[in-house]
C-alpha cells in the first residue's frame, strides 16, 4: 500500500503562510485596478515574476529544456494557466468584491476534480467525489443568488468571469501534468510565465496603451506584492509544500485563503459580503472536505 502524505508542523506553517500570501493577492489586485487596466495588471504580474523565477533557476543551475515542443507547451500553458485566469480574475474584481472573488476562486479544486476525471484514467469520478462536486456547485449557486442567475449585468458577468478563471486553472493543471510533469516545477513555472509575458506585453500595449511607470506609490507596492510575493515567491512555497504534503493536503489552501481575503477586503476596502455569500462559501468548503475524503473516511462513511 502506497504511504500517504501527512502534514508536518513545518508543512502546516508553510500552508498557512501561502494562504496569507494568496489571500492578500486579491486586495493587491483591487488596488492596482484603481490605476491600471486588467491587461496591464496581468502583464506586471507575469513579467516581474518571470524574471525572479529565472534568476532562481539559473542560481540553482537547473537544466533548461531545448526541445521546441517544451517551449510550445510553455507558451500554451502560459496562456491557459496565467493569461486567461489572471485576466478573468482581474476583470471580475472590477465588478465584485475581492472577498467574493476569493470565494469563487475556491471552486478551482472542484473543476480540477472534474477535468482530471475526464482526462486521466487514474483519477475517475467516484461517488464520493461526485457528492463533493455537487456540494461545490450548490455552494456557488447559493453565493451567486437567484437574481444573478436571472438577470445578466456587469456584476453577474464579473462572477462568471471568476468562475471561468477557475476552469482555466483546472484545465491548466491537467495540461501541465500531461505535458510538463517531466520537468523541474521551477523550470516549468518560469517557462510558463515566459510564455504568458510574451503574450501580455503586446496585448496590454494594444488594448490599454503604453504602460506608464508614473504610478502612485501604493500601486507600485501592490504590483511588487502581486508579482514578486504572491506569484514568484508563492510558486516556490507551493512546490515546497507539494513535496512535503502532497496535492490533496495542498488543496486546503483554497479554503484557508478565503477568510484572509474577506477580512482584508473589509478592513481596507470597506467591503461587506451578504449572508448568502458566506453560506455559499460554507457549502463549497464542505464540498471540498468531501472531495478531500479524509474526514468522511474517519467518520466511517466511506472507505
Annotate the chain with three-state secondary structure: CCCCCCCCHHHHHHHHHHHHHHHHHHHHHHHHHCCCCHHHHHHHHHHHHHHHHHHHHHHCCCCCCCCHHHHHHHHHHHHHHHHHHHHHHHHHHCCCCHHHHHHHHCCHHHHHHHHHHHHCCCCCCCHHHHHHHHHHHHHHHHHHCHHHHHCCCHHHHHHHHHHHHHHHHHHHHHHHHHHHCCCCHHHHHHHHHHHHHHHHHHHHHHHHCCCCCCCCHHHHHHHHHHHHHHHHHHHHHHHHHHHHHHHHHHCCHHHHHHHHHHHHHHHHHCCCCCHHHHHHHHHHHHHHHHHHCHHHHHCCCCC
Does residue 297 surpass a pLDDT of 80? Answer: no
Q: Report whether pLDDT(2) > 50.
A: no
Mean pLDDT of 39-43: 97
Domain count, the chain: 1
- Residue 1 resides in a domain: no
Q: In whole angstroms, give the CA distance from residue 167 to residue 102.
A: 14
In a domain, 3, yes or no: no
Q: What is the model's pTM?
A: 0.88
Domain range enclosing 53: 11-298
Is the distance from CB of 165 to CB of 103 less than 8 angstroms? no
DSSP run (H or E) holding 18: helix 9-33
Residue 1 predicted with pLDDT over 50: no
Which DSSP helix (H) or strand (E) runs through 16?
helix 9-33
**Grid cell of 186 as nine digits:** 521551477
Only one residue has cell 502581486, namely 226
Residues 118-174 pLDDT 10s: 888 777 888 888 888 899 889 888 988 877 666 778 888 999 999 999 999 888 888
Answer yes or no: is 303 within a domain. no
Most confident listed range (14-18, 38-42, 261-265): 38-42
pLDDT above 80: residue 242:
no
Could you tell me if residue 182 is inside a domain?
yes
Is the residue at 234 inside a domain?
Answer: yes
Q: Please give the share of the chain, as a percent, with pLDDT higher than 70.
A: 89
Domain assignment present for 22: yes
Which pLDDT band holds residue 300 (cuts at 50, 70, 90)? low
Grid cell in block for residue 123? 483519477
Q: Is the pLDDT of residue 229 over 90?
A: yes
The label of the residue with cell 451567486 reads 144
Rounded to whole angstroms, the Cα distance separating 175 from 245 reads 22
Residue 152: phi and psi, rounded to 5, are -90, 115
C-alpha dist (Å) from residue 287 to 16, 79, 173: 21, 29, 20
Most confident of 1-5, 133-137, 202-206: 202-206
Within a domain: 90: yes
Distance (Å, rounded) from C-alpha 182 to C-alpha 176?
A: 10
Confidence of residue 113 (pLDDT cuts 50, 70, 90): confident
Query: How much is the average pLDDT of 44-59?
Result: 96
* Residue 21 domain-assigned (yes or no): yes
Amino acid at each position: 500500500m502506497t504511504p500517504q502524505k501527512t502534514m508536518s508542523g513545518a508543512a502546516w506553517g508553510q500552508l498557512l503562510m501561502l494562504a496569507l500570501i494568496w489571500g492578500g493577492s486579491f486586495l493587491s489586485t483591487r488596488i492596482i485596478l484603481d490605476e491600471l487596466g486588467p491587461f496591464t495588471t496581468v502583464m506586471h504580474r507575469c513579467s516581474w515574476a518571470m524574471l525572479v523565477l529565472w534568476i532562481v533557476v539559473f542560481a540553482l543551475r537547473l537544466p533548461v529544456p531545448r526541445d521546441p515542443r517544451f517551449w510550445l507547451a510553455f507558451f500554451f500553458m502560459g496562456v491557459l494557466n496565467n493569461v486567461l485566469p489572471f485576466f478573468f480574475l482581474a476583470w471580475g474584481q472590477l465588478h465584485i468584491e475581492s472577498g467574493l472573488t476569493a470565494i469563487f476562486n475556491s471552486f478551482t479544486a472542484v473543476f480540477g476534480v472534474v477535468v482530471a476525471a475526464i482526462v486521466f484514467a487514474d483519477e475517475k469520478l467516484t461517488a464520493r467525489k461526485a457528492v463533493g462536486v455537487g456540494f461545490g456547485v450548490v455552494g456557488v449557486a447559493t453565493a451567486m443568488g437567484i437574481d444573478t442567475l436571472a438577470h445578466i449585468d456587469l456584476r453577474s458577468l464579473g462572477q462568471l468571469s471568476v468562475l471561468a478563471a477557475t476552469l482555466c486553472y483546472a484545465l491548466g493543471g491537467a495540461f501541465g501534468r500531461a505535458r510538463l510533469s517531466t520537468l523541474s516545477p521551477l523550470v516549468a513555472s518560469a517557462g510558463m510565465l515566459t510564455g504568458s509575458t510574451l503574450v501580455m506585453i503586446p496585448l496590454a500595449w494594444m488594448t490599454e496603451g503604453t504602460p506608464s511607470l508614473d504610478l502612485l506609490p501604493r500601486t507600485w507596492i501592490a504590483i511588487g506584492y502581486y508579482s514578486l510575493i504572491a506569484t514568484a515567491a508563492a510558486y516556490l512555497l507551493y512546490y515546497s509544500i507539494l513535496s512535503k504534503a502532497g496535492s490533496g493536503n495542498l488543496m486546503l489552501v483554497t479554503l484557508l485563503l478565503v477568510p484572509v481575503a474577506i477580512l482584508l477586503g473589509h478592513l481596507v476596502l470597506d467591503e461587506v459580503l451578504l449572508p448568502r455569500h458566506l453560506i455559499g462559501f460554507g457549502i463549497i468548503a464542505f464540498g471540498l472536505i468531501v472531495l478531500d475524503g479524509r474526514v468522511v473516511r474517519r467518520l466511517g462513511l466511506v472507505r
